[in-house]
Structure 1
């Protein structure tokens, strides 16, 4: 049954992918319809990401407190309702204030769906944690590839308002139904797995203990670094293409921007289970360093060759491929370090790093407006990825090893004391 729960979680994640990865196709139509500044519209995206991440621990705590059977169903079901309500509101709004409220509703709803889905993966699959988390994250990363072109066609034919309304109701409705068949394991139902490429904690740490652990904050900082560049590109991919005047250039009969959006979302989704599987084989720290190094190359290539239509498509795909892996690697690393009992809440605490990084999205637009291009932003993203490689290799890996060694020593001392 665990594969059924995982499959339903993936479906729910696919349903919320457009909230983030399809957002960019709505920006220009809203700007044209209401004469709003792009920076003002992107505030709604920032609110969405902030609440999707920062409110996630609240959703996760509610889920864990209600229990493994009804917690996931109630929290995820409510998330589906909020997601639908947010896009329906966006369909009828004529003010930025209402747009921001819509962003808040969808953000809180998406956070509820995300935390339950990730919790399903890390709790049911201790033996394949990287792969399971990657598959769930792939739904969020690649899901938009299925609908991004239909949404663009619908906007062109009927307007962005109709697209918000139709797809909002479909996405929210599917989540509401699917969520009612998901549950998390009861205590002792799934046995912890020791050994493997990545050492796993046999003890479960509470959220208070996790927040008091310095290794968590090293992991958090690293997560913020990696989220920042990816969020900037995902929120502004249309603007980056337009800055090179290549959006409508045809490649194999498809506009460059449309092809890039689909290819990027596919690569984003492929990366998550792939890197998760690699992590199960060689360990999480090594996999992180490989992914982050490739990310530095990807951003630099987009900086160098982004003005060439075919290169723009390929480089964008590589950026999304390297960015997507963090959403399978970081939750798995968090659960390996801090145990499974409170995994939904603890992984959600770490996920707030994405909300912290989202604060940089409007800043990137401001920098671009001042400098006149996206070059400086892409170069900063390149440097950030290089820094992240060194943080993992020189700080996070030794810190994680020491944390786990201290845990073993503490358990041994407790056993000796009892004996």
Structure 2
């Protein structure tokens, strides 16, 4: 039993490293927008299609990727994913047109990142059935906080080396680190006794998507993804409009400092709120976290011209957003079972792709049309607050009824 416990924690550490190795592709994208615009001679809305494609390909193929991982095991596919994710940076350095960037960074990068993301999350809900919120939060923290280590080095490299060399060097590093970690991953061979309320019926994906409760979770995660990805993909642009991006704070430029703080808070919130949800319940935790992001984003908008408050409040906004990647997979697995957890989460993860479209190019187009980021912020704030109330008013009683129904063995699929 001691060996099993040691193995599960080793698997968690390896999964975190794999996630950290792919995180910069999404979370450092905002630092790459200006260099790519300059290199290719394009406008922001056209460039942000790359980010939308990245998220779409990361998420829209997730159900298929989840089934492959469930069938063939995590090690080989996750290893392939981390290597291709790093190589997408290397090949993007050679892109000479927007179409090439779409295909390499957006499509290949998104597909490879999705394999790793879905694979590691699905693996951890099986290794830690009694602590799903915490375990998925820790792995998701690797994706959020991994970019903390690279934000300042990439920022400095872009200034000193330029775009192409930066992409090549860091792409190779990411591939090597991820590959070494992935080769030791494996699926657990035993089932741990459960101490949490959950459905006893093991839904496969076909059965799950017939349930209206699944689609409520899907809509909720779509709204939260839209809100967070608007900030993630547009931060360099709206900080420039607010006049704070190049302001020096504590001897450092405000934008990379804010991004580094955001990655820390985005990483901390995932295991923290996941752990809290294991104890206090998923829906109550959702209400608190989502409402926190909405309120913080409103205050952030009011204080947008103060560089110090801009940095601090950006951290609070990310603290209220990042936990969706621990709360939703844990809630989904509690509700629909562990047997098909990886493939099932792949279906829910599609919502991230839809959110990227609204949070990426649509948000950029709204700003281009109105020349005011406030309208974009108000949409995100509305999504945060309405989702918070849905969690406590609709999701909580509905899920309680659903789980008790299937716990008693009623099947009406």
Same fold (TM over 0.5): yes
Pick the aligned partner of 1:324 from 322, 343, 354.
322
Moved more, 368-377 or 5-14: 368-377
- Structure 2 portions without partners, runs of 5+: 1-6
- Whole-Å separation in 2 of the counterparts to 1:208 and 1:192: 27
Other structure's SS at 1:184 match: coil
- Tell me if 1:159 matches 2:162: yes
Alignment deviations for residues 98-153 of structure 1 (CA, whole Å, 9 cap, x no partner): 10011111100000000111012111001111111100000011111111100011
Corresponding residue of 1:417: none
Corresponding residue of 2:254: 256
Corresponding residue of 2:409: 410
Pick the aligned partner of 1:73 from 65, 72, 75.
75
Corresponding residue of 2:12: 6
- Tell me if 1:26 matches 2:32: yes
- Whole-Å separation in 2 of the counterparts to 1:159 and 1:55: 33
Alignment deviations for residues 56-99 of structure 1 (CA, whole Å, 9 cap, x no partner): 22111001112xxxx10111011122212311121111101110
- Whole-Å separation in 1 of the counterparts to 2:100 and 2:296: 37
Corresponding residue of 1:125: 128
Pick the aligned partner of 1:114 from 113, 117, 124.
117
Query: C-alpha displacement at 1:34, in angstroms?
Result: 2.1
Moved more, 403-412 or 30-39: 403-412
Corresponding residue of 1:90: 92
Query: C-alpha displacement at 1:192, in angstroms?
Result: 4.2
Alignment deviations for residues 231-258 of structure 1 (CA, whole Å, 9 cap, x no partner): 0110011011100111111111111112
Alignment deviations for residues 322-348 of structure 1 (CA, whole Å, 9 cap, x no partner): 110100000000000011111111112
Corresponding residue of 1:337: 335
Alignment RMSD: 1.3
Q: Does the aligned pair in 2 maintain the 1:86–1:104 contact within 8 Å? A: no
Q: Does the aligned pair in 2 maintain the 1:337–1:400 contact within 8 Å? A: yes
Q: Does the aligned pair in 2 maintain the 1:194–1:200 contact within 8 Å? A: no
Q: Does the aligned pair in 1 maintain the 2:65–2:115 contact within 8 Å? A: yes
TM-score by length of 1: 0.94
Query: C-alpha displacement at 1:177, in angstroms?
Result: 2.1
Corresponding residue of 1:371: 370
Describe how 1:199-278 pairs up with structure 2 within 5 A.
199-278=197-276
Number of residue pairs matched? Answer: 404
- Whole-Å separation in 2 of the counterparts to 1:204 and 1:192: 16
Corresponding residue of 2:295: 297
- Whole-Å separation in 2 of the counterparts to 1:15 and 1:82: 11
- Whole-Å separation in 1 of the counterparts to 2:50 and 2:83: 19
- Whole-Å separation in 2 of the counterparts to 1:221 and 1:262: 30
- Whole-Å separation in 2 of the counterparts to 1:215 and 1:74: 33
- Structure 1 portions without partners, runs of 5+: 414-419
Query: C-alpha displacement at 1:163, in angstroms?
Result: 1.1
- Whole-Å separation in 1 of the counterparts to 2:393 and 2:259: 35
- Whole-Å separation in 2 of the counterparts to 1:84 and 1:133: 23
- Tell me if 1:193 matches 2:194: yes
Query: C-alpha displacement at 1:45, in angstroms?
Result: 0.6
- Whole-Å separation in 2 of the counterparts to 1:73 and 1:273: 23
Corresponding residue of 2:3: none
Corresponding residue of 1:416: none
- Whole-Å separation in 2 of the counterparts to 1:51 and 1:287: 29
4+ aligned runs moved over 2 Å, structure 1: 408-413
Q: Does the aligned pair in 1 maintain the 2:199–2:407 contact within 8 Å? A: no
Query: C-alpha displacement at 1:410, in angstroms?
Result: 2.5
Query: C-alpha displacement at 1:276, in angstroms?
Result: 0.5
Corresponding residue of 2:67: 61
Pick the aligned partner of 1:137 from 131, 136, 140.
140
Q: Does the aligned pair in 2 maintain the 1:56–1:351 contact within 8 Å? A: yes
- Whole-Å separation in 2 of the counterparts to 1:233 and 1:272: 17
Q: Does the aligned pair in 1 maintain the 2:225–2:352 contact within 8 Å? A: yes
